[in-house]
Structure 1
């Protein structure tokens, strides 16, 4: 059986829901849906760009903790609460993934876990060994 490495971030929802920020099995890494929650507050409240930048930093940290980096990302999934506000999300995503060009999906959802959150992202990465 492959080694399974769990990444915990001490986020408020991990123990309540019972999930990991990320899991690495072999050369595959999956990072859970990530939002701009910090110490029970929301970073960049009302601003999709600021929330997206913060989310991508959390994702980058989770990847790094298991030996991966943003250039290893092959899939991004983005959930926004208002598609008309997607430009900030698109800008932040492009800044990080311009050269990586992962397969990407962006969808509008009715709500996220906290009504102040405007964007949630999850990624999958593969490390070439």
Structure 2
């Protein structure tokens, strides 16, 4: 069995420059890569506010999943990447708003910094398309 590969873009000009996609769908699987808290204007959302940044990341992921034919209700894994592990609860409190009933597996980790120092969090998600047929 072979699967088609669909690249999902949100129009970020860095996609072509760096060579990445917001998400990739292969068969019934959708992976959304590191999603930063960037607004439609290209500027960081919620500077200094990890909860606002987490919410923005999840909303971007939601749009990418819907574009791929999936949705937040089909998420099977999330990854929360923070610059300060002490911010984990604020980020997870927002994550719960979206995933309390879905209950995907989760990883929470901290790194030294992101490309943009205003970013406190990036978020990743993997999902399925439950009504997919080959």
Query: What is the TM-score with the length of structure 2 in the denominator?
Result: 0.92
Superposition deviation, residue 17 in structure 1 = 1.3
Query: 1:15 — aligned with what?
Result: 16
Query: 1:67 — aligned with what?
Result: 69
Match of 1:41, SS? coil
Query: 2:98 — aligned with what?
Result: 96
Contact residue 75 and residue 102 of structure 1 kept, 8 A: yes
Unaligned runs of 5+ in 1: none
Q: Flag the 1:80–1:12 CA change in 2: closer, same or farther, 3 A.
A: farther
Q: Aligned residues, how many?
A: 129
Superposition deviation, residue 2 in structure 1 = 1.4
Give the strand-richer structure, 1 or 2: 1
Could you list the runs of 4 or more consecutive aligned residues of structure 1 that deviate by over 6 angstroms after TM superposition? Answer: none
Superposition deviation, residue 15 in structure 1 = 2.2
Name which of 36, 60, 67 aligns with 1:58. 60
Match of 2:86, SS? helix
Query: What is the TM-score with the length of structure 1 in the denominator?
Result: 0.95
